[in-house]
């Protein structure tokens, strides 16, 4: 990644949590803009593959070298003194004309759509997106045009960003530790939007009704928001629509992982009831046989608050496997993945798996030709999808 400007030249950054979706993108932008970059994470992640040539410490505790500015992921607050990653992202946004995309659902795909169209039409964008976009070469890229950023309301950090264009895909309570109600979240978004010159509100738009390579009604809503933002950025609507038809999606968004023996295995980032339901409805339209869902709960507070709704959404599948809460912080007494499993309707066959390996084994024991399998959740569900694919090959 290269750019003609080097606004961070001479600075040195140590990213704590560099293997995360967002932090790896920030690190790539920082080094492309001239900074010396290093980092730390607990273990290998798929996003470290995007950081070729960056020195990364794994395991133990962060060890920032002398003279480096430390940027700390929200997942690792307290491990070491440093600057919150939200402040660093705010600095990046201030350095360019920016489009920031926020909302409960679809923000990664919508941001990726905007960046893809801008690049395809020769507008030379930069982008910082919380997912790998193969057509863009990763989750971050550098050009001299618009900077497209995926914001985050989970820790209210999107409120620090001051772009020229804001896109709000939707408003739904997903982060119960940060907001007490949907009304509080809506007020927060309204306050942020008031500071931005141009705002797109996805729920005010009609879904895009022309050809797309990515399936589902949710992607038609994402496309409508992306096209509205592109018009504000000066892109002709007809040109943007033509380019958008070639967009093939983001990793872990209905990503086909395996197609073997008449069985298709998908992986998807859906982790709350609305997203899970949208994914399962879309796959139901594509499935000839049974639909098998494997869900990995991730956040204890979300699991506590929404286990009934999560279970009900999984009831859209014919068979559902639920694991123990994976990777969540601050365990709560009595809050386990079994709460979600208990909420799955009796018409859906239910399976419990305490580990990722168990989840793959249960799914493989159920699969028969013609089935469609999807792994769902934040973090590591893709490992289960790959294990299922490997099992089918064996």
**What is the rounded distance in angstroms from the CA atom of residue 391 to the CA atom of residue 258?**
10
Backbone angles phi, psi at 79, to 5 degrees: -70, -35
Q: Are strands 138-141 and 126-133 parallel, antiparallel or unpaired?
A: antiparallel
**In this predicted structure, what is the pLDDT of residue 328?**
65
**In this predicted structure, what is the pLDDT of residue 258?**
96
Contacts 24+ apart (CB under 8 A), 237-242: 239/121, 240/117, 240/121, 241/208, 241/210
Tens-digit pLDDT profile for residues 234-264 = 999 999 999 999 999 998 899 999 999 999 9
Same domain, 144 and 274: no
Tens-digit pLDDT profile for residues 69-91 = 999 998 898 999 999 999 999 99
Same domain, 75 and 103: no
Domain boundary among 213, 244, 275: 244
For residue 326, the domain's CATH number is 3.90.190.20
**In this predicted structure, what is the pLDDT of residue 175?**
66
Range of the domain at 60: 12-85
Q: Work out the percent of the chain whose per-residue pLDDT is above 70.
A: 97
Q: How confident is the model at residue 279 (pLDDT cuts 50, 70, 90)?
A: very high
pLDDT exceeds cutoff 60 at 3: no
pLDDT exceeds cutoff 80 at 4: no
pLDDT exceeds cutoff 90 at 34: yes
Q: Work out the percent of the chain whose per-residue pLDDT is above 90.
A: 81
Residue 280 maps to a domain = yes
**In this predicted structure, what is the pLDDT of residue 203?**
96
Same domain, 260 and 353: yes
Same domain, 164 and 192: yes
H/E segment holding residue 142: none
For residue 33, the domain's CATH number is 3.40.50.720
Residue 91 maps to a domain = no
Domain count, the chain: 3
H/E segment holding residue 84: strand 83-84
Is 47 in contact with 19 (CB distance < 8 Å)? yes
Tens-digit pLDDT profile for residues 79-128 = 999 999 999 999 999 999 999 999 988 999 999 999 999 999 999 999 99
Residue 152 maps to a domain = yes
Same domain, 193 and 292: no
Same domain, 287 and 356: yes
**What is the rounded distance in angstroms from the CA atom of residue 362 to the CA atom of residue 232?**
49
Is 128 in contact with 63 (CB distance < 8 Å)? no
Report, as an integer, the average pLDDT of 47-61: 92
**What is the rounded distance in angstroms from the CA atom of residue 208 to the CA atom of residue 59?**
45
**In this predicted structure, what is the pLDDT of residue 57?**
97
Same domain, 259 and 387: yes
CB atoms within 10 A of CB 237: 11
Residue 7 maps to a domain = no
H/E segment holding residue 218: helix 217-232
**In this predicted structure, what is the pLDDT of residue 133?**
92
Residue 271 maps to a domain = yes
Same domain, 113 and 210: yes
Question: What average pLDDT does the structure give for the chain?
Answer: 93
Q: Say if residue 385 is exposed, middle or buried (CB neighbours under 10 Å; 0-12, 13-18, 19+).
A: buried
Same domain, 80 and 101: no
Residue 175 maps to a domain = yes
pLDDT exceeds cutoff 80 at 8: yes
Domain boundary among 85, 106, 124: 85
Same domain, 167 and 271: no
Domain boundary among 215, 244, 273: 244
Same domain, 363 and 385: yes
CA 39 → CA 14, 48, 69, 384, distances in Å? 5, 10, 11, 27
pLDDT exceeds cutoff 70 at 63: yes
For residue 151, the domain's CATH number is 3.40.1190.10
pLDDT exceeds cutoff 50 at 1: no
**In this predicted structure, what is the pLDDT of residue 46?**
82
Residue 5 maps to a domain = no
| Between 182 and 9, residue with greater pLDDT | 9
Residue 57 maps to a domain = yes
Same domain, 108 and 240: yes
């Amino acid at each position: 990644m290269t750019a003609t400007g080097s606004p961070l030249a001479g600075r040195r950054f140590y990213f704590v949590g560099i293997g995360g979706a967002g932090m790896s993108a920030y690190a790539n932008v920082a080094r492309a803009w001239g900074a010396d970059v290093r980092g730390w994470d607990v273990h290998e992640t798929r996003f470290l593959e995007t950081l070729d040539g960056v020195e990364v410490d794994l395991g133990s505790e962060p060890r920032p070298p002398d003279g480096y500015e430390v940027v700390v992921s929200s997942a690792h607050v307290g491990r070491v003194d440093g600057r919150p990653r939200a402040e660093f992202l705010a600095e990046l946004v201030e350095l360019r004309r920016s489009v920031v995309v926020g909302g409960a659902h679809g923000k990664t795909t919508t941001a990726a759509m905007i960046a893809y169209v801008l690049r395809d039409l020769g507008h030379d964008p930069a982008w910082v997106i919380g997912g790998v976009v193969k057509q863009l070469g990763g989750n971050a890229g550098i050009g001299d045009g618009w900077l497209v950023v995926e914001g985050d309301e989970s820790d209210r950090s999107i409120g620090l960003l001051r772009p020229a264009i804001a896109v709000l895909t939707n408003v739904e309570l997903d982060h119960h530790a940060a907001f007490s109600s949907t009304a509080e979240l809506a007020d927060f978004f309204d306050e942020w939007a008031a500071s931005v010159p141009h705002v797109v509100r996805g729920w005010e738009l009609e879904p895009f009704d022309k050809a797309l390579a990515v399936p589902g009604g949710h992607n038609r809503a994402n496309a409508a928001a992306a096209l509205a933002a592109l018009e504000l950025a000066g892109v002709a609507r007809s040109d943007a629509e033509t380019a958008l038809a070639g967009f093939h999606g983001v990793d872990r968004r209905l990503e086909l992982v395996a197609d073997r023996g008449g069985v298709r295995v998908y992986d998807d980032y859906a982790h709350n009831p609305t997203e899970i339901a949208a994914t399962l409805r879309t796959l139901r339209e594509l499935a000839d046989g049974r639909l098998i869902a494997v869900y990995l709960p991730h956040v204890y507070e979300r699991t506590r608050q929404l286990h009934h709704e999560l279970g009900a959404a999984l009831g859209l599948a014919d068979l559902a496997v639920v694991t123990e809460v994976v990777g969540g912080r601050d365990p709560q007494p009595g809050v386990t993945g079994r709460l979600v499993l208990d909420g799955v309707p009796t018409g859906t066959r239910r399976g419990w798996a305490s580990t990722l390996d168990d989840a793959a084994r249960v799914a493989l024991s159920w699969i028969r030709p013609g089935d469609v399998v999807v792994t769902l959740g934040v973090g590591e569900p893709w490992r289960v999808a790959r294990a299922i694919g490997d099992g089918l090959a064996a």
